[in-house]
């Protein structure tokens, strides 16, 4: 949290398999896609791009053989299953620790883009090059490595290498699809998110203290640690903030708002302004609202864990320089996001196109399930349409003197006393109204005949 506002939310008890390493079995090879479907022992078969299998992998894992159906294979989950799609896996394993990520089958060397100091980048790159030369694995220096002594980085690298060796041993000893490696979710969050920019850490599980202290010892500036009993989400009103967070419309301080619509294919974000009365300053006011919206859009992408294609419709600007300012500002604000964002620029229609790396599921799919009534559309039949259907069904009734109509409370506005009288007069029956919390798309009619039957 930052100044009372949610910045990022994690749920360690909600299932995700992204980042986990499995022994899989090739179930089916699809030559046209240059891909294979892999059984990993959990859920739907995973999708594997065969082009990602390089010579180093083939030699170590496949013993020099070509890929074939029924063969066991070592994979890491890149993306969780989404919709009708199974998870996506890769043979290019990455083992992450506090300061480094190692890649056993790649010779890549890199330094986190968030480390901007040129001399520090050179120092870390030199260390990475030395480790690659000695151990023959790719090395990426993480943001947390900035300013850390070489000795500590090497220790961290050796710990990551030991994890990899254990994974490889398990793979060679096993035959059936199974999970081989996963990080403790709490440790993973501490490792990736706790840094010198954090002022205070509050925890409610005493067993975490040792883990926290272990990861804090190398920080140049250590945050304050405080133990608090009870439900922290309750104490800091996180539950209430989550309700607001998942609203489709997000207000801006200027009076405008952004509207977020997420579909399976992409996410569309619309920026709306308050009503402008000063025609002369419309361009300036529009730019001001758009600039404010950028801050909120990036914040919402992080909070809601929105990935994939994102299209943003800003308030229209007449001056081309305004779009240049928006693009420059978006690039700057996007640096705050720990997940990779690619910005493609504005289209001819003035829409900003970006992509955000998708690994785990969006927050709304973790917190909610598809509504069985509206099938996830968020819409039910209008009261007018339901009333029309009710009238059609009442017309079919013959020789009935009393009818009980059970409807959802949403229909209460359409059944005032005078409305009931009109229906009774039209259909020549006594009409009783009953409300029930059932499917708002439906209703129930119970009729009593003039002879007392039903």
Per-residue tens of pLDDT for the chain, all 454 residues = 777 788 888 776 567 888 999 999 999 999 999 999 999 988 899 999 999 999 999 999 998 899 999 999 999 999 888 778 899 999 999 999 989 999 999 999 999 988 989 999 999 999 999 999 999 999 999 988 998 899 999 999 999 999 999 999 999 999 999 999 998 878 888 877 777 778 888 988 888 888 888 888 777 788 889 999 988 888 888 878 877 777 889 999 988 999 999 888 899 999 998 765 555 678 888 999 999 999 999 999 999 999 999 999 999 999 999 999 999 999 999 988 888 899 999 999 999 999 999 877 788 877 777 776 666 677 777 777 777 888 888 888 877 888 888 888 877 777 777 778 888 888 888 888 888 877 777 888 888 876 655 5
| Per-state percent for the chain, helix, strand, coil, to nearest 5 | 35, 25, 40
Kind and range of the H or E run holding 209:
helix 209-216
What gap in Å lies between CA 311 and CA 313, rounded to an integer?
7
Sign of CA dihedral 218, 223, 228, 231: negative
Q: What angle do CA 321, 323, 325 make, to 5 degrees?
A: 70
Tallying the residues shown for the chain, one arrives at 454
Sign of CA dihedral 126, 128, 131, 132: negative
What gap in Å lies between CA 225 and CA 71, rounded to an integer?
49
Residue 61 region by backbone torsions, left for phi larger than 0, else alpha for psi between -120 and 50, else beta: alpha
Short-list 295, 301, 289, 307, CA closest to 260: 301
- State whether residue 335 is helix, strand or coil: coil
Answer whether 0.75 is exceeded by the pTM: no
Kind and range of the H or E run holding 239:
helix 238-245
Short-list 201, 194, 189, 184, CA closest to 219: 194
What gap in Å lies between CA 298 and CA 49, rounded to an integer?
31
Any idea what DSSP says for residue 65? P
């Amino acid at each position: 949290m930052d100044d009372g506002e949610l910045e990022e939310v994690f749920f360690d008890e909600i299932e995700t398999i992204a980042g986990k390493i499995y022994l899989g079995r090739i179930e089916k090879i699809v030559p046209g896609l240059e891909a294979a479907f892999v059984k990993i022992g959990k859920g739907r078969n995973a999708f594997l791009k065969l082009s990602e299998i390089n010579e180093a992998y083939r030699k170590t894992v496949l013993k020099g053989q070509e890929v074939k159906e029924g063969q066991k294979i070592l994979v890491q989950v890149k993306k969780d299953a989404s919709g009708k799609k199974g998870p996506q896996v890769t043979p290019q394993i990455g083992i992450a620790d506090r300061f480094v990520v190692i890649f056993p089958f790649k010779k890549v060397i890199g330094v986190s883009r968030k480390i901007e100091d040129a001399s520090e980048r050179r120092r870390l790159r030199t260390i990475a090059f030395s480790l690659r030369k000695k151990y023959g694995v790719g090395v990426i220096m993480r943001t947390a490595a900035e300013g850390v002594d070489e000795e500590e980085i090497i220790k961290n690298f050796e710990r990551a290498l030991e994890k990899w060796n254990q994974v490889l041993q398990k793979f060679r000893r096993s035959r059936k699809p199974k999970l081989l490696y996963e990080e403790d979710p709490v440790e993973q969050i501490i490792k990736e998110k706790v840094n010198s920019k954090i002022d205070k850490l509050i925890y409610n599980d005493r067993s975490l203290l040792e883990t926290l202290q272990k990861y804090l010892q190398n920080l140049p500036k250590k945050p304050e640690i405080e133990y608090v009993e009870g439900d922290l989400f309750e104490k800091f009103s996180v539950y209430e903030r989550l309700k607001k967070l998942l609203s489709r419309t997000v207000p801006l301080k200027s009076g405008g708002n952004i509207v977020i619509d997420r579909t399976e294919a992409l996410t569309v974000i619309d920026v709306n302004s308050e009503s402008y009365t000063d025609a002369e300053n419309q361009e300036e006011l529009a730019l001001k609202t758009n600039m404010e919206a950028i801050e909120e859009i990036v914040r919402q992408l992080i909070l809601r864990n929105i990935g994939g294609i994102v299209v943003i419709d800003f308030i229209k600007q007449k001056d081309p320089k305004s779009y240049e300012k928006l693009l420059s500002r978006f690039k700057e604000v996007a640096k705050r996001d720990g997940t990779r964002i690619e910005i493609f620029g504005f289209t001819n229609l003035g829409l900003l196109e970006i992509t955000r790396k998708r690994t785990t599921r969006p927050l709304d799919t973790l917190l909610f399930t598809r509504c069985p009534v509206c099938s996830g559309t968020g819409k039910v039949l209008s009261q007018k349409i339901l009333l029309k259907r009710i009238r059609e069904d009442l017309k079919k009734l013959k020789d009935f003197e009393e009818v009980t109509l059970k409807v959802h409370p949403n229909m209460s506005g359409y059944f005032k006393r005078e409305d009931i009288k009109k229906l009774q007069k039209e259909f020549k029956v006594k009409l009783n109204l009953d409300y029930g919390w059932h499917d708002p798309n439906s209703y129930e009619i119970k009729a009593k005949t003039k002879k007392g039957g039903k």
